[in-house]
Chain A
């Protein structure tokens, strides 16, 4: 059953507050995440996405407005946010740069060991986390971390966060720099995490093809405010507004938009290759008839 796990209302935040270099990063941002959500958070560079994300596990506290995560009010200064860091896993950009242990299994085990899990529990968590990202436990646990491919290293980093058993996973540019194969594998891991492990997933991404392929709902930030939210279909049908916000659009949506401008009757909210091809077919048969 779906419940609200994150509720951000009218959130304001400044960096370097009280100094001459103070910059306002968030000016009334809103965000709601449900326990079964698969969300993309989009916005131009400097729109406040990263600042917003850092509020979700208490790395930052609200300066104004409210942030409630799993029922905890982060505006409460007395709140100990540490337990939230296990419930909300954040995977930063190029997380493979944060790997440090020579063997894959030990790197992933670092978190559970810090939590003082028993050796059996550490092993169970490492095994589960590795399987969830498509790295076979026996095949990979003793592999040399830094001899893996870029896509494999990224999945090791993701497994390290999953071993903390979060209920919400936030990933910043999860596919940037991956090759097409690494990208496809990572997306299918994320889909499975959402569907099978019941983890709510938020991706922060500029790659609109990734957003179109993965996300169900989209939230768009601009200049620190939430300016659009809706289903992925609704959002990508609003091509002109997205362009105005200096965001890209998926290649299929872009083609659909160009076809509409040229007078073809295709729906604005097609997302996939097959949908657009079928719309063209419907269009051509109705003309012929």
Chain B
């Protein structure tokens, strides 16, 4: 899958200016940056919700400029947004998850099997007969992800999908993301939480519409001064490691999580 050269310049503000980025099949990419850095614009370009002002976005070889391909493109790339309320349309969970596949005109049995496997994937079988307003934030967001999964996309883009959730809801959603990634789905996670970005294979830092930094979490969080110059910071665990090392405590490598930290000490 390729996403190349999106450069929208419409509406008077340039949200992205000359971004070139490739997302490879099966990878987990995190996109971080401040509000206004162009993160959400980039996410919405990935399945043709926004079209590039200049340049091109290719999804599996299909250009998003060709609106006749949008249906096909959206079956490859699904987007989950910040507020699950904006994405749930039906009055029952299972009907909501079935909405996408039904609109593809699939046979009843096929719709049912897709709904089943999508609900399984987000661990929400027990919620299928519930009304969305009875669900917690984390449950709603998992249902929204199931709705996207029922379209059988190869890539899922999560645009700050954990920002409004409590810690338990965030944990639930990240657990689903981790399982999808293990099963081979390509993940693009747009986030403000550095500890979430640390879970990815690769991080892209956007600033003022451009890619400011890109690389593995170890590389990105290994250069705290550079992140701080962009008004960002490393995850607290990494900050403890850096500070402790400066005091002379032997900490090996670049721990990003508590578990890594414990094994990085002698």
Question: Contact residues of A with B, CB < 8 Å?
Answer: 44-45, 149-151, 176-183, 206-209, 246-248, 250-252, 254-255, 258-259, 262, 264, 273-274, 276-278, 280-281, 284
Asked if B107 lies at the interface with its beta carbon under 8 angstroms from chain A, I say no
Q: Is the CB of B262 within 8 A of A180?
A: no
Complex Cα–Cα for A247 and B232 (A) = 26
**Chain B residues bordering chain A, tally (CB within 8 A):** 36
Q: A206-B167, A251-B236, A277-B247 are in contact. List 16 more A-B contacts (CB 8 A).
A: A177-B160, A178-B35, A179-B192, A183-B192, A206-B166, A250-B236, A251-B237, A251-B258, A258-B258, A258-B261, A259-B258, A274-B243, A277-B243, A280-B249, A280-B265, A281-B244
B78 interface hit (Cβ, 8 Å): no
User: Are B166 and A45 in touch, CB under 8 angstroms?
Assistant: yes
Q: A251-B195, A252-B236, A281-B249 are in contact. Are A176 and B163 (CB under 8 A)?
A: yes
Q: Check A258/B259 contact, CB under 8 A, given A178-B192, A206-B166, A280-B249.
A: yes
Chain B residues, CB < 8 A from A180: 34, 192, 194, 231-233
Q: A180-B232, A247-B167 are in contact. Are A255 and B34 (CB under 8 A)?
A: no
CB distance from B243 to the nearest CB of A (A): 4
Is the CB–CB distance between A177 and B82 below 8 Å? yes
User: Is B164's beta carbon under 8 Å from chain A?
Assistant: yes
Task: Compute how far the CA of A251 lies from the CA of B194 in the bound complex, rounded to whole angstroms.
Answer: 11
| A273, B163: Cβ atoms closer than 8 Å | no
Across-interface contacts of B243 in A (CB, < 8 A): 273-274, 277
**B interface residues with partner A (beta carbon < 8 Å):** 33-36, 82, 136-137, 160, 163-164, 166-168, 192, 194-195, 231-233, 235-237, 239-240, 243-244, 246-250, 258-259, 261-262, 265
Residues B195 and A208 in contact, CB atoms below 8 Å apart: no
Tell me if B167 and A208 are in contact (CB < 8 A): yes
Q: Which residue of B lies closest to A183 (CB)?
A: B192
Task: State the Cβ distance, A133 to closest chain B Cβ, in Å.
Answer: 17
**Known contacts A177-B82, A258-B262, A262-B262; is A284 also within 8 Å of B35 by CB?**
no
Q: A255-B261, A281-B249 are in contact. Are A179 and B34 (CB under 8 A)?
A: yes
How far is it, in angstroms, between the C-alpha of A182 and the C-alpha of B33 when the chains are bound?
12
Complex Cα gap A149–B36 (Å): 7
CB proximity of B153 to chain A, nearest CB, Å? 25
In the complex the two chains form, what is the Cα distance from A276 to B262 in whole Å? 13
